[in-house]
Amino acid sequence: MRHLNDEASRARAAIDAGDSALGIELGSTRIKAALIGPTHAPLATGSHAWSSKLVDGLWTYDLDRITEGVQHCYAELADEVSDRYDVALNTVGAMGCSAMMHGYLAFDNAGELLVPFRTWRNTNTDAASRALTDLFEHNIPHRWTVAHLYQAILDDEEHLPRLAHVTTLAGYVHWRLTGQRVLGVGDASGMFPIDAKTGHFDETLMSRFQELIAERGYPWRLSEVLPPVLSAGQDAGVLSEDGALLLDPSGALLPGIPLCPPEGDAGTGMVATNSVDVGSGNVSAGTSIFAMVVLDRPLRTVHREIDVVTTPAGDLVGMVHCNNGTGDLDAWINLFGEFATALGVEPDATRLFQVLYTAGLSGEPDGGGLLAYNYVSGEPIVALDEGRPLFVRSPDSRFTLANFVRTHLYATLGTLRMGMDVLHEEGVHPRNLFAHGGLFKTKDVGQRILAAALDTPISVGELAGEGGPWGMALLAAYLLEQEDNESLNEYLRNKVFSGNTFETITANSSEVEGFESFMTRYRRGLSVEAQAVEQLP
């Protein structure tokens, strides 16, 4: 055993004793894992790159790739534990898995997948979304599980008579690890509306749905195919022998580890930014981008732009979810990387993003009159079923590198701003928002751009780039560390974030006015984007 410094020795002792928690999150482009110790700081991480594919007009991931990705991610984390602390990772105190929210995973009684996994990115459910929104008097977005289910019913899909279970990606992975078909309330609130009083699926609305489909004669009821709902801190099963081998085929990981309820990436983002208390809010920016604000009351009106979901503890949340986030911006950054390579320079990816993002910060406040749309896929908030990334400039625009990058940073936030305007009309005005995700890894840049876009102070913590897997690990730790009647909010405030500091940026008036000018062009140009979708199939 090699000599370690005091900090590493303490970490090794905690890992060896199982005084740790593991969070795994399956995001849109990366599967990430974080192992935390008694101080809740990350001890080791792992990751695996992957991407969805378009099959028969629908975005999907193969189940085999899910298994492969989780295994690779865990193996990378276990290797880091061994390398840094000279100890094998045989167990953890608790663990949990989270994933991109919503979508449709449908199984028969034998556990066989009936149709390819339909992800949150699909927007083929417009008819179902509109019909259910009217029926429930509750916004049912395109990506919600019940919208996918009802669209399949409208399309008379042949798999429906054999349907036994539906779940989300997090619920699927949790089932594979534990044998338990359960779901955390935050993720479940993106399957079907939650009754805030009970913390479970709304029985009145389930009855309405059952009446709606009664004449179809299916041999199942919605209440039977949806998973049981659990809140943060509740027991969600233990790692089975099969689950341990699925995660770690080497056999080093021991079964019996308790798991917390599986959650969606929106919920883990709230936890990672200490934004689960009423009035708090956060913004998560990655492949998709969304804002979450914890409500003190139900919204007065049904808005197609606003999802009403919950925190992992079951409190109501107003959510602005945009299908398109940094994907198009990343593609442009990678193009500059290819150019650098052609010049004989092999740029470090992190450095490449830092240089270009920082250049964008020096652009003109309005982006120099340039315009971009980041719509790689459909965007329901602006009523587009498909997307076409666009960059547009007029002859008198100031076409510089700084303005070009600043405009594409702005474009990642345009749809989010439109949704937040709707929340403001409802009287929801968060005094401050916490931010996390890849957009905020380069110091100050994404944070300042977001502050200008929303005219709201934006706070970022040291672990903003860690995001979801760290938040999931905290939910696993809460399962073990909660005291009698200690709420999730109290646990985070008193035990996790008590000594943590956040850096806050407030945009100046010229930055706010500059983004307003960009938004004027953005709204006017939406008809051009719609024409691009129509004319460029």
- 537 residues of the chain, pLDDT tens digit each: 566 787 888 999 999 999 999 999 999 889 999 999 999 999 999 999 999 998 998 999 999 999 999 999 999 999 999 999 999 999 999 999 999 988 999 999 999 999 999 998 888 999 999 999 999 999 999 999 999 999 999 999 999 999 999 999 999 999 999 999 999 999 999 999 999 899 999 999 999 999 999 999 999 999 999 999 999 999 999 999 999 999 999 999 999 999 999 999 989 989 988 999 998 999 988 888 999 999 999 999 999 999 999 999 999 999 999 999 999 999 999 999 999 999 999 989 899 999 999 999 999 999 999 999 999 989 989 999 899 999 999 999 999 999 999 999 999 999 999 999 999 999 999 989 999 888 888 889 999 999 999 999 999 987 545 678 999 999 999 999 998 889 999 999 999 988 777 899 999 999 999 999 999 999 999 999 999 999 998
Exposure class string for 118-135: b at 16+ Cβ within 10 A, else e: bbbbbbbbeebbebbbee
The verdict on 300 and 449 lying in the same domain is: yes
The verdict on 370 and 405 lying in the same domain is: yes
Is 5 a domain residue? no
The verdict on 390 and 521 lying in the same domain is: yes
Is 81 a domain residue? no
Task: Give the domain extent around 399.
Answer: 327-411+510-535
Gap between the Cα atoms of 90 and 71, Å rounded: 15
The number of folded domains in the chain is 2
The verdict on 271 and 296 lying in the same domain is: yes
The verdict on 402 and 446 lying in the same domain is: no
The verdict on 445 and 497 lying in the same domain is: yes
Give residue for tokens 């974030």. 497
Is 21 a domain residue? no
Q: Are 269 and 436 in contact (CB under 8 A)?
A: yes
The verdict on 375 and 483 lying in the same domain is: no
CATH number, residue 315: 3.30.420.40
Residues listed for the chain = 537
Is 449 a domain residue? yes
Gap between the Cα atoms of 34 and 43, Å rounded: 7
Residue 290 contacts by C-beta under 8 Å, 6 or more apart in sequence? Answer: 266, 283, 284, 319, 320, 321, 322, 416
The verdict on 438 and 389 lying in the same domain is: no
The DSSP secondary-structure symbol of 380 reads G
Phi, psi angle pair for 431, to nearest 5°: -75, -20
Question: pTM, whole model, 2 decimals?
Answer: 0.88
The verdict on 357 and 478 lying in the same domain is: no
The verdict on 339 and 268 lying in the same domain is: no
Is 478 a domain residue? yes
The verdict on 440 and 495 lying in the same domain is: yes
- Adjacency order of strands within the sheet including 263-264: 42-49, 30-36, 21-26, 94-99, 263-264
> In the numeric block, which tokens belong to residue 113?
């997948």
Is 271 a domain residue? yes
The verdict on 431 and 503 lying in the same domain is: yes
Is 406 a domain residue? yes
Is 500 a domain residue? yes
The DSSP secondary-structure symbol of 159 reads T
